[in-house]
Amino acid sequence: MADQTHSTIRRSSSDCCGGGRNVGPRPTDATAAEATGMAQVRLPQPVWVALTRAPKAGDVLHVGSAASVQFLIPITVRVIRVIPWSTYEGYLWLDVYVLDRADYAVVRREIWVRTAGLRLRMSR
């Protein structure tokens, strides 16, 4: 037994993944909605416009690579406050909550961004 390596140890299907039960395929969202009697609700797509003023508390912003090279994968944030730290003209520090797809705050961050690269969400 002591000579066995990880490559020689075999597990049966009952050791993991549902105890060997045949659970079948996962239902699609449409199937799950039909089974529960609930219709799928599609939220309207947000409209993003260029920010023409200084951001203020409560604004929901799209922060992408136009705002800073660190955001090659864009994020959506809700502004808590503009941090009054001195910086280059056209840039500012923001204290924000990063939002998930359902608009729940996931993490609080301080970000340094170019004002001209921020986009404001107009609807949701």
Q: What is the pLDDT of residues 35-75, one digit of tens each?
A: 666 666 676 778 889 988 899 999 999 999 999 999 999 99
Report the predicted TM-score, pTM, of the whole model to 2 decimal places.
Answer: 0.63
H helical segments located in the chain: 29-36
Quote the pLDDT of residue 124: 54
Contacts of 117 (CB under 8 A, 6+ apart): 63, 64, 65, 66, 67, 68
